[in-house]
Amino acid sequence: MKRVATRPIAPMDAAHLGRLVPLVALAATVVVTDQLSKAIAVHALTKGRIVPVAGGLVQLNLTLNTGAAFGLFRQAGDVFVAIALAVVLVLVVLHRRVSMMSTASRLALGLIAGGATGNALDRVRLGYVVDFVDFRWWPVFNLADSAIVLGTLAIAWLSARLERDGDDG
């Protein structure tokens, strides 16, 4: 049996770690802000209380979501926990490659990772995701959902720009 030589994985140097700090800091900020906002919503919006905001343009309306984004796939909660964990695991495994991305790309990934983690924490702790922002013409959502959408839109925009200009941000 022929033995295949493997190259040891080099430890992360300070420059690479430093480039990951904005991603990790933003992800942590998203998780903390999301969890705090959900705790406030659960406390303040009990018993069906709905609070109009911005002249009624938006309302705060507590919804316990056992499905995916926008209440779809209600019986697949465990799948979404696995997806959130996979997103974070991929970022950890590919840390060296991620650290070489533009700051904008790393921040977009931080939004996605933070949002996915915030909703995964709800699913693991509660068995559902707490949603409370209601525009009445759009499904009820939360800050983690917003972070995921904004991060995804930023990645799409940066990818289109990279394809067009050859510049990652």
* Residue numbers annotated as active site: 131, 145
Q: Closest by alpha carbon to 142, among 52, 63, 80, 50?
A: 63
Residue 123: how many other CB atoms lie within 10 Å:
18
Q: Are 26 and 104 in contact (CB under 8 A)?
A: no
Distance CA 123, CA 78 (A): 8
* Sequence letter at residue 118: G
Helix (H) / strand (E) containing 111: helix 103-126
What three-state secondary structure class fits 32? helix
Distance CA 68, CA 16 (A): 34
Q: Closest by alpha carbon to 139, among 52, 72, 39?
A: 72
